[in-house]
Amino acid sequence: MALSHRRRILGFLAGCSRRSARKVARFYVSGRGATLVEFALIAPLFLGLLIAILETTLYLFAQATLQNAADQAGRLFMTGQVQNNNWTATDVQNQVCPPVMFTCSNLIVVAQTYASYAAANTSAPQLYNNGQKVTSFAFNPGNPGDVMVVQLVYQWPIVGGPLGFMLPNLGDNTTELMGVTAFRVEPYGS
């Protein structure tokens, strides 16, 4: 009895195996739906790559725009326009901010003077201190002959990618953009 029972079970499994094999073979030979399946497999990778390319392109364009604004801000300090008009950081911000790319009220202007170029510090200013956002930054318009470093800093919004691609994240889905210029303030008339 046990031997016939085993034969029946083996026969049943063999039949299932043949039926399954035929179904798989029919699916493999059939071309219907293949394009849809291939697209479903490739689309997430393609869209992720496309998003990464667009985000990186926008980031680099914004970086170049911010550097141009920093150069423009440097000229305002170097020629004495900021000093003669007693401008504040907000005034400089309003003069150089490209409103199409940036929210101008979020642009940070840092201006510092140094005794020499060797002493100048161009590292990024600290935006957070113990998890709290820093709200005040150095603003010293300088005098004729001073070495100055002017930095424009902006927190650029980013989108995290599903493939692990992302620009450096400050923790609030933004990354830091910075434009820097260093120069010696020219002798200017008041």
Q: What is this structure's pTM?
A: 0.73
What DSSP line would sit under 126-143, residue for residue? Answer: P-EETTEEP----B----
- Residue 186: which of 111, 77, 88, 89 has the closest Cα? 77
Mean pLDDT across 160-183: 75
Tokens coding 51: 């998003």
Whether pLDDT at 60 is above 80: yes
Gap between the Cα atoms of 13 and 8, Å rounded: 9
The whole-number pLDDT of residue 154 equals 93
Whether pLDDT at 78 is above 90: yes
Q: Give the orientation angle of helix 34-78 with respect to helix 89-96, to 10 degrees.
A: 120
